[in-house]
Chain A
Amino acid sequence: ETAVFQTPNYHVTQVGNEVSFNCKQTLGHDTMYWYKQDSKKLLKIMFSYNNKQLIVNETVPRRFSPQSSDKAHLNLRIKSVEPEDSAVYLCASSSDWANTGQLYFGEGSKLTVL
């Protein structure tokens, strides 16, 4: 049963455009994440938020910016997309910062940059 909701699930756009992905979790968790999964299925952490505070900000291009209005929502904005941004972006949550190993993933948002 899905409890981490992402929108949109698919998005096709052109180089230079802006894209936003939204994520909401209904599990009552304190911690949320954005992961990037490339064509080789590798999972790379991008950002972690705990109670809407940024905790982890991996080395990602500055065109990526997360935003959290409350602990149940974590959005991702990409300004001026590049071809290498084509990937599946996975939102996830964990009950709290101490349980980072028990992740609940959303369905993913597949981005294709033409």
Chain B
Amino acid sequence: QQQVRQSPQSLTVWEGETAILNCSYEDSTFDYFPWYHQFPGESPALLIAIRPVSNKKEDGRFTIFFNKREKKFSLHIADSQPGDSATYFCAASGNSNNRIFFGDGTQLVVKP
């Protein structure tokens, strides 16, 4: 059973629009939910993360919305820029198993 599910697989938005990337998880003991981005030719890097004590985390144009009851979280990228074009991975981890589970990734393209 896949622990973290991510959608859409690919997303194209115009510059200035808000891109919305979605994730859901299975294990209710997960307590850390990061988003990683990966630019072409580079390795993944931590972008932003949230813990269940909060339902929202902002960092500039990037915001995570977290719904513990529905076991869902999303990444909103406001005022998308062509430089945001990358693959985005959501993930979940917890102390119960000391593992991180990655989603399959969303390939985001921002058109100028």
- Please report A residues at the B interface, Cβ cutoff 8 Å: 40-43, 45, 55-56, 90, 97-98, 100-108
Contacts and interface: CB of A to CB of B under 8 A. Distances in A.
Pick from B36, B92, B102 the residue with the most CB of A within 10 Å: B102
Contact of A98 (B36, B87, B95, B102): B95
Contact of B43 (A42, A55, A97, A108): A108
A90 B87 CA distance: 16
B15 interface: no
Interface of B is mostly: strand
B93 A101 contact: yes
B87 A102 contact: no
A42 to B, nearest CB: 6
Interface in B41-69: 42-46, 49
Nearest to B103: A43
Given A103-B46, A107-B43, A97 B98 contact: yes
Given A98-B95, A101-B34, A102-B49, A43 B43 contact: no
Nearest to B89: A43
Interface in B27-47: 32-34, 36, 38, 42-46
